[in-house]
Amino acid sequence: IPLSNDILLKSFSSIHISTGIAIICASFTNFRSREILRMPCNFSHDYFRTPYDLLSIALKEQVLYTEAHMGHTMARIELESVKGALVEAAKIFNDCYECDRLNIDNHNWRLASVAGLMVISSGMPIGKGVQAAEIAVNVEYFEKVREDVVTCFQNLLSITNDLNDCETLFHLSVSSFLEWKEASSLLINLNSTCHEMSKTHAFHTLKWAKSDMSSSGMSRLKEINLRKNNRN
């Protein structure tokens, strides 16, 4: 009996996720960026915990490498190639999500890909901290992608009642996405404020750190407490 595409996607979603990652990797001209994105997520690591960490760092390395060797203009041109790969990969990740909406990996790669698209489309200088975005090449496209990011993020937040044994990963995923400053800064004032996002980040970081109890989690707790004491 032939298997439907939905059954195949749900049964072998990790293979399809790997295909999407490979498409993005092929668009990078920097070897280090490709190696970073191929890394397995390590929840106890300080920097490579989730797809948001991997993609944001890979994009930064790609831009810094190209700017150093070929200049700013070429870096923007190469990002257009990455953008095309993200569009293609996002379709694969979305298909995986549609077939299994409780799989956090599907949520994370789907959100990471559209968030990467949003950052590139904004014209924001990548790898230089949060700076004012340049005028987007296509403002209408940027706004649509930004709305897609909000939808994907809300979809991730909505699975709180179906976590089973994935609660730690869920809280880490939300916290990690909001720590991608280039992406999260572009969502401020779009159904959210800086204060609301900070509260959401602190809540999920505390939940993750207390359940994970790793050195990475403990260091994040110390950072939150330090910021809180500084405000007081």
**In this predicted model, what pLDDT tens digit does every residue of 120-170 receive, in sequence order?**
998 888 877 666 555 556 788 999 999 999 999 999 999 876 777 788 899
Helix 104-122 / helix 72-99 crossing angle, nearest 10 deg = 150
Identity of residue 17: I
Whether 213 shows a pLDDT value over 60: the answer reads yes
pLDDT at 8: 47
- Amino acid identity at 221: L
Gap between the Cα atoms of 27 and 14, Å rounded: 20
Please report how the helices 167-178 and 139-157 are oriented relative to each other, as an axis angle in degrees rounded to 10: 150
**What's the pTM value of the predicted model, to 2 decimals?**
0.86
Considering the chain, what percentage of its residues have pLDDT values greater than 90? Answer: 50
Q: Provide the pLDDT confidence category of residue 31 given band limits of 50, 70 and 90.
A: very high
> Whole-angstrom Cα distance, residue 113 to residue 109?
6
The most confident of the ranges 1-5, 48-52, 65-69, 138-142 is 48-52
* Res. 173 pLDDT band, cuts 50 70 90: very high
Identity of the residue numbered 86: L
pLDDT at 151: 96
Q: What is the mean predicted confidence (pLDDT) over 105-118?
A: 97
Q: For residue 221, is pLDDT > 80?
A: no
Angle, vertex CA 77, rays to CA 117 and CA 94, nearest 5: 20
pLDDT score recorded for residue 47:
85
Give the mean pLDDT of 89-105: 93
**Pairwise pLDDT comparison (59 vs 201), residue with the higher score:** 59
**pLDDT (0 to 100) of residue 2:** 38
Tokens 């790969």 sit on residue = 85
- At 4 the pLDDT is 42
Give the count of beta carbons closer than 10 Å to the beta carbon of residue 72: 11
Structure tokens at 189: 């004032």
- CA atoms within 13 A of residue 41's CA, in its CB half-sphere: 18
pLDDT digits (tens, 9 = 90+) for 38-51: 999 987 777 899 99
Q: Cα 174 vs. chain centroid, distance in angstroms?
A: 10
pLDDT for residue 231 is more than 50:
yes
- Closest to 105 (Cα-Cα) out of 212, 229, 197, 13: 13
